[in-house]
Amino acid sequence: MMSRILTYRELLLAAIIIVLIAVFAYRAPGFASPESLANIFNDTAILIILALGQMAVILTRSIDLSVAANLSFTGMAVAMMNAAYPGIPLPVLILCALAIGAALGAINGFMVWKIGIPAIVATLGTLTVYRGMAFVLSGGAWVNQTQMTPIFLDAPRTSVLGLPVLGWTAILVIALIAVTFTRTVFGRTLYAAGGNPTAALYAGINVGRTRFFAFMLSGALAGLCGYLWVSRYAVAYVDIAAGFELDTVAACVIGGISTLGGIGSVGGAVLGALFLGVIKNALPVINISPFWQMAISGLVIIIAVLFNARQERRKGRLILRDAAKQRPSLVNAQAGGAAA
């Protein structure tokens, strides 16, 4: 969000993604075609949305391990509602998904805020609990394509200007979150509460409540993704998106969201998710086995973390071109670069 290093980092990440695409396109012509790229983006849309929710939580020095379980429960719930009452209009179902997700997120937030359970412990617990709830709700049964209404299934796939609505949803969420994080009081308090909780408290910011809302946001986005996921894959069962919470954390880490809180940008998280998306889509194209895909993804995450650590270390050893102004005076600080 703030220092030059981060924007530099984002540029670098974007460059790496472009180079990767170019390399893959060399091996598999057509990989870089507009349709293929739109497809990759669409394929990564859910990860992007979840990563942004995860980012809000990580900014406040917490972590949400229950996003995938939340997605699974909410997806199951709306799928069953759709199957049982086909008459409920889709917007209502989507609102339900957001609300259920937000409620599950609020449970996490409440435990962290009011009971004082560490986030990692609280959400590790609800990870199991929410999956269990999905099982109890469905009795272990699947909701199949045939049981869901056509509109429920088709809405996210409808193509607008060459990109399915699912992809557009991600773009909308990115825009909303970017504005929220950089331009609203809530966004600022996320950074302050994570950057230095004590100083934030002294400044009159309620750190616990900020965390609570971060969890709720993450939950609401997970709920939305519950619907998107079920409709995209046209099936709902207990184990959907198993382990996906780790992908969201990985996207954030690759994107430079500091797990120590208070540092990171929306652009970084999105690029981190896209990076994983490109890898995931490209490896099968160039015939690399799924086992290797996982190993390579893992390796990339480790490299990203190392890169992060190196960046931190290099701070203060950067060599200056030349201080043109002989004294650091209050230059008219431009608004640019500040909140980018």
Partner 1 sequence: MSVVQAAHHTLTPLLEMRGISKAFPGVKALDQVDVILYPGTVTALIGENGAGKSTLVKILTGIYQPDGGEILVDGAPVEFGNADAAIRSGITAIHQETVLFDELSVAENIFLGHAPRDRLGLVNWAAMNARAAALLTSIDAPISPYTRLKDLSIAHRHLVAIARALSVEARVVIMDEPTAALSYKEVEDLFRIIERLKKQGKAILFISHKFEEVYEIAEHFVVFRDGRSIGSGLLSQTGQDEIVRMMVGRSVEHVFPKVDVTIGNTVLKVSGYSHPTEFDNISFDLHRGEILGLYGLVGAGRSELCQALFGITRPSAGMVELEGRPIALHSPRDAIAAGIVYVPEERGRHGVVLQMPIFQNISMATLGKTTRAGFLRQAEEFALARRYAERLDLRAAALSVPVGTLSGGNQQKVVVGKWLATRPKVIILDEPTKGIDIGSKAAVHAFMSELASEGLSVIMVSSELPEILGMSDRVLVMREGRMAGTWRRDELDAETLVRAATGNV
Ligand X SMILES: Nc1ncnc2c1ncn2[C@@H]1O[C@H](COP(=O)(O)OP(=O)(O)OP(=O)(O)O)[C@@H](O)[C@H]1O
Of residues 157-196, which lie at the interface with partner 1 (CB under 8 A)? 182-189, 191-192, 195-196
Dihedral angle computed from the Cα positions of residues 169, 128, 60 and 50, in that order, rounded to the nearest 10 degrees: -10
Name the token pair of 187: 């966004």
d(C-alpha 167, C-alpha 163), whole Å: 6
Of residues 247-306, which lie at the interface with partner 1 (CB under 8 A)? 262-263
Closest to ligand X by CB, 243 vs 310, is: 310
Which candidate, 269, 240, 245, 216, places its Cα nearest to that of 67? 245
Closest to partner 1 by CB, 156 vs 187, is: 187
d(C-alpha 186, C-alpha 182), whole Å: 9
| Cβ at position 331, least distance to partner 1 in Å | 5
DSSP 8-state assignment for residue 143:
B
Instruction: Quickly tell me which residue has 């429920």 as its tokens.
Output: 152
| Interface with ligand X, residue 323, by CB under 6 A | no
Instruction: Quickly tell me which residue has 């609102």 as its tokens.
Output: 95
Closest to partner 1 by CB, 6 vs 165, is: 6
Is residue 236 classed as helix, strand or coil in its secondary structure?
strand
Q: Work out which of 29, 89, 162, 328 binds ligand X, going by CB under 6 A.
A: 328
Closest to ligand X by CB, 287 vs 329, is: 329
Contact partner, 184, from ligand X, partner 1, none, Cβ < 5-8 Å per class: partner 1
> Within a 10 A sphere around the Cβ of 28, how many other Cβ atoms?
15
Closest to partner 1 by CB, 161 vs 320, is: 320
| Interface with ligand X, residue 319, by CB under 6 A | no
Half-sphere exposure of 260 (CA within 13 A, CB side): 6
| Cβ at position 318, least distance to ligand X in Å | 8
| Interface with ligand X, residue 316, by CB under 6 A | yes
The pattern of x and - marking residues 199 through 238 that bind partner 1 according to CB under 8 A reads xxxxxxxx--------------------------------
Q: Residues near 218 by Cβ (< 8 Å), separated by ≥ 6? A: 53, 54, 56, 57, 64, 67, 105, 108
| Contact set with partner 1 (CB under 8 A) | 2-4, 182-189, 191-192, 195-196, 198-206, 262-263, 316-320, 323, 326-331, 333-335, 337-339
